Amino acid sequence: MTTSAEEFDTIRIENVGRRFGGTTALQGFDLTVQRGEFIALLGPSGCGKSTALNCLAGLLPLTDGSIHVGDQRVDVLPPEKRDFGMVFQSYALFPHLTVEKNVAFGLQMRGVSRSETARRVAEALRLVRLEDQAKKLPGQLSGGQQQRVAIARAVVIEPRVVLMDEPLSNLDAKLRLEMRTEIRRLHQTLGLTTVYVTHDQEEALSLADRLVVLRAGRVQQIGTPQELHDNPANWHVADFMGYRNLLEATVSADADGQGRVRIRADDLELVGTAVNPTAAGETVRLAVRPTDLVVQTSQSAAASPVNTIAADVEIVEYQGRDYAVEVRTTGGRTLHVRSDHAPEVGTKVLLTVDPSRALVYQEDLDTATT
């Protein structure tokens, strides 16, 4: 059987684990990355993202599992034999070498000829739009430019995979957005298989083909941005995906045939959709995105009696295209709402939420992999 180019470059991460003494930083990590795919590893600080990336890069030996690229087992190889490009948060450029020499370094180490090196360095600098900065030292460049040099240095070796560890987190907000677009453009142009670590869900959603959400060293969910955004597998993922309204509640009636379940949270009696099996009397978490809480006008309220919540408007913040609103329910709970119009602070409003967008999760379920 012949191996296609796709299979040749598929990365298979199987049951990878890493312990530091008594701390389990990563456990049972399974993932297959297709050629050209952009994967984001996402999760809060300490969840094991960098450990996973460093295991892939070969900077950390595994304590369990294996990593293959195509039919080659790579976790037994030293980093330089894996043919992976790395981009770090700190740029990690050689301060005494010019931009072009920094980019050329990896090619020289691999014994590429002078003329070929010059051609490929020029091409890589053109790709990251730094052709006119080639003779400068890193210290003479802005943070964004330095990170572009680091990216050029990683891609110039034509690696099988590019690994990026929070590459934008040292940049200010505006530059971060610009560089995000730059990374997307580069990925589209070069089609390089990329594994990208971030704790910024917006960054991950906007860049990646698939996201891997980690928590306490365990994969919680793997899926496309849309899948994770719309259907988080557990409430920890929901929390991370911007479901800012996470209410502890009690199931007051079992789910019907459509998975609709009635729950009570203080004064609120709502119908939601059970993501995991739940039973009456059980403590659950209700997760609702701010954009799924709709501020009713006096006319529309009468038409939608299901899942209506009465609340007082406490804070209204203009966000450019819409408003971030904080309300307090009669039972004293704060809810976060996004609204395209601004309700007046101090007034009473009625909110509604569609039962399909009121997600009900088991309280203790924290490792649901899809």
Taking CB under 6 A as the criterion, the residue among 16, 47, 152, 207 binding ligand ATP is 47
Structure tokens that stand for 97 in this block: 């070498």
**Shortest gap between Cβ of 151 and ligand ATP (angstroms)?**
20
Q: Which is nearer to ligand ATP, 128 or 197 (CB)?
A: 197
**Shortest gap between Cβ of 349 and ligand ATP (angstroms)?**
38
Interface with ligand ATP includes 299 (CB under 6 A)? no
Other CB atoms within 10 Å distance of the CB of residue 23: 10
**Shortest gap between Cβ of 31 and ligand ATP (angstroms)?**
15
Interface with ligand ATP includes 23 (CB under 6 A)? yes
**Shortest gap between Cβ of 42 and ligand ATP (angstroms)?**
9
Strand pairing class (38-42; 194-198): parallel
Q: Which is nearer to ligand ATP, 217 or 225 (CB)?
A: 217
Q: Which is nearer to ligand ATP, 13 or 349 (CB)?
A: 13
Is the distance from CB of 261 to CB of 360 less than 8 angstroms? yes
Rounded Cα distance between 220 and 218, Å, is 6
Interface with ligand ATP includes 20 (CB under 6 A)? yes
**Which residues contact residue 196 at a Cβ distance below 8 angstroms, ignoring those fewer than 6 apart?**
38, 39, 40, 41, 163, 164, 167, 183, 204, 207, 208
Interface with ligand ATP includes 223 (CB under 6 A)? no
Q: Which is nearer to ligand ATP, 54 or 133 (CB)?
A: 54
Which residue in this structure is represented by tokens 């980690």?
214
Within the chain, strands assigned E span 11-20, 23-33, 38-42, 64-69, 72-73, 84-87, 161-165, 194-198, 210-215, 218-223, 245-253, 260-265, 268-274, 283-288, 294-295, 308-318, 323-329, 334-339, 348-352, 359-362
Stretch that binds ligand ATP, among 44-52, 153-161, 266-274, 291-299 (CB under 6 A): 44-52
Q: In degrees rounded to 5, what are phi and psi of residue 212? A: -120, 115
**Which residues contact residue 257 at a Cβ distance below 8 angstroms, ignoring those fewer than 6 apart?**
none
Taking CB under 6 A as the criterion, the residue among 16, 38, 48, 289 binding ligand ATP is 48
Interface with ligand ATP includes 51 (CB under 6 A)? yes
Alpha helices for 110-265 (secondary structure H): 114-127, 143-155, 173-190, 201-207, 225-230, 235-240
Taking CB under 6 A as the criterion, the residue among 43, 65, 232, 272 binding ligand ATP is 43
Interface with ligand ATP includes 61 (CB under 6 A)? no
Interface with ligand ATP includes 25 (CB under 6 A)? yes
Interface with ligand ATP includes 94 (CB under 6 A)? no
b/e burial code for range 30-40 (CB count within 10 A of at least 16 → b): ebebebebbbb
| Cα angle 28, 32, 35; round to 5 | 155
Total interface residues for ligand ATP by CB under 6 A? 12
Q: How far apart are the first and last CA of the chain?
A: 30
**Shortest gap between Cβ of 241 and ligand ATP (angstroms)?**
17
Interface with ligand ATP includes 236 (CB under 6 A)? no
Taking CB under 6 A as the criterion, the residue among 45, 115, 226, 347 binding ligand ATP is 45
What strands, in cross-sheet order, belong to the sheet with 11-20?
23-33, 11-20, 64-69, 72-73
Q: Which is nearer to ligand ATP, 23 or 297 (CB)?
A: 23
**Shortest gap between Cβ of 100 and ligand ATP (angstroms)?**
31
Rounded Cα distance between 272 and 359, Å, is 6
**Shortest gap between Cβ of 233 and ligand ATP (angstroms)?**
19
Binding pattern to ligand ATP, positions 184-203, x when CB under 6 A?
---------------x----
- Our measurement of the distance from residue 232's CA atom to the centroid of its chain's CA atoms, rounded to an integer in Å, reads 13
**Shortest gap between Cβ of 39 and ligand ATP (angstroms)?**
15
Q: Which is nearer to ligand ATP, 43 or 355 (CB)?
A: 43
Stretch that binds ligand ATP, among 17-25, 68-76, 249-257, 299-307 (CB under 6 A): 17-25
Other CB atoms within 10 Å distance of the CB of residue 346: 8
Interaction site with ligand ATP (CB under 6 A): 20, 23, 25, 43, 45-51, 199
